Amino acid sequence: MSITLQTLTITEAHKALLAGDITVRALVDMYLAVIEEKNEELNVYLTLHTDIDDQVERAQQMFTNGTATELTGIPCALKANLMRKGQVANASSRILENYQATYTATVVQKLEDQGVVFLGATNMDEFAMGSSTENSAYGATKNPHDVTRVPGGSSGGSAAAVSADMALCALGTDTGGSIRQPAALCGNVGLKTTYGGVSRYGAIAMGSSLDQIGPFAKNAVDARIIWNAIRGQDEHDMTTISNDYWDTTVNKDVYSIAIPEGFLDGVEPAVLEVFNTAVLKLEQAGHSINRVPMPSLTYGLPVYYVVMPAEVSSNLARYDGIRYGKQVLGDTLLDTYVKTKSQGFGAESKRRIMLGTYVLSAGYADKFYTQALALKEKMKQDLEEVYKTYDFVLTPTTPTAAFKFGEKSSDPLQMYLEDIFTVSANIVGVPAISVPMGTVNLDGSDMPVGMQFMGRHSEDLAVLDIAEKFENL
């Protein structure tokens, strides 16, 4: 049986493995061959895991002894801020250079238990701050559709891995869009789960009230398979939701969908055109779509860029070269701190640490941080109103398709605007998915763009369902 990686899904790979048409070894080797061929140019993987052979053997064993699941033997990429014991997890930072995880993240353990084969650690923006993967201390990742363009970020490596057939699926983290935005720019499906739906234990923390781990996949069905495997309550993460809480009865034949009126004004015309065509298709399929004013969505970016740096400044404080992180020794203790942090962190991390420290400082906290928290509540209430009538809020995932290297990196505010449609789901804690909606032609390359469905709290299954319905149109 011949296997074409480009169109292969988890479901099909599983069938082939189960039927014995292909072995785990042969499947993994196909991906390793592509990695060998493309990684130098694309810079997708920072390192490959050192125990691939053992993982392959274990997975094949599961087929032999009848304990295999849909995920057994499936080659998966892991963002470099997710820990797998003994493997490099450096969050693409100098300060964690060569750091090897001392324990395994809950999500990784769950997938390992099912025999997933982890191939390696993928490149990202340092500590997950960025929208282009240009903030990595180890060089940028290139977009497989056009190597002069960014793959998005911060999980750019994971998104590119799936698009370039360097993994069949991947895990990333999403604090303000870092799964959905690169999934959109690389042309795959990316899911940000309900806050607390998936354990964060073993993810290198950035913005703890916003961070969620989630899958990159070829399609919505594959994303659901991974989501099902990684979700659930975890004694190591007190924010995880009890398993009884999930509403599994949310699938409908047709959904009612709201598009925020006036909120799409900044979207590039070519992207908007693809979006409008996609909306038409949804309407023709019977879903009802209305334009609804949602003014509080405009608070998303300002709230995010206060709350997120505030949490970053406290989460990254531990990397001082004494307790955590690579030490650069100075003449005095203070000198050691200064040298360690100056050389260990990149420009964007420093910018956010300073910004976060500022908005939390005495005299300013009330003016910025407390205000942001109040606006967050307001956004929650307003969206809850919308969700009384509508199942989803629909927008493009991003205002633009993949941009060129350097185009936005010199202007942080331009870069932050990339997140305009994605940050709200993290702020209010609801699930959201990006699913490919078409391509726009940029200088001769067809660049993918994505559509985002943002659903009700704990209705991840509905979000996956509408994504699947949309794919099938």
Pick the closer one to ligand GLN by CB: 176 or 300.
176
Task: For residue 154, indicate whether it is catalytic.
Answer: yes
Please report how close the Cβ of residue 173 comes to ligand GLN at its closest, in angstroms: 6
Minimum CB distance to ligand GLN smaller for 419 or for 459: 419
* Residue number, 154 or 340, with CB nearest to ligand GLN: 154
- Are the CB atoms for 109 and 85 separated by under 8 Å? no
Which of residues 22 and 301 has its CB atom nearest to ligand GLN in the complex? 301
Per-residue x/- track, 102-141, ligand GLN (CB under 6 A): --------------------------xxxx----------
Catalytic residue among 92, 93, 132, 154: 154
Supply 321's token pair. Answer: 């070269």
Residue keyed to tokens 């125990």: 51
**Contact letters for ligand GLN, residues 153-192 (x by CB under 6 A):** -x------------------xxxxxx--------------
| Residues 349 to 388 in contact with ligand GLN, rule: CB under 6 A | none
In angstroms, what is the minimal distance from the CB of 153 to ligand GLN? Answer: 6
User: Using an 8 Å Cβ cutoff, are 415 and 405 in contact?
Assistant: no
Give the amino acid at 427: I
Question: Residue-wise over 155-166: b if at least 16 C-beta within 10 A, else e?
Answer: bbbbbbbbbbbb
Give me the catalytic one of 79, 110, 192, 341.
79
Q: Is 61 or 298 the residue whose CB approaches ligand GLN more closely?
A: 298
The Cα–Cα gap between 45 and 235 comes to 31
Least separation in angstroms between CB 409 and ligand GLN: 12
Amino acid residing at 221: V
- Which of 419, 460, 465, 468 is close enough to bind ligand GLN by CB under 6 A? 419
Which positions from 222 through 281 interact with ligand GLN, judged by CB under 6 A? none
Q: Which is nearer to ligand GLN, 174 or 468 (CB)?
A: 174
Spot the catalytic one: 92, 93, 158, 178. Answer: 178
Interface residue with ligand GLN, options 308, 359, 386, 464 (CB under 6 A) = 308
Active site residue 178: yes
Nearer to ligand GLN, 129 or 355 (CB): 129
Cβ-closest position to ligand GLN: 178
Distance of closest approach, residue 124 Cβ to ligand GLN, in angstroms: 8
| Catalytic (active site) residue 350 | no
Cα distance between residue 134 and residue 262, in whole Å: 31
Q: Strand 75-79 to strand 117-122: parallel, antiparallel, or no bridges (unpaired)?
A: parallel
Where does this chain bind ligand GLN (CB under 6 A)?
Answer: 128-131, 154, 173-178, 308, 419
Residues designated as active site = 79, 154, 178
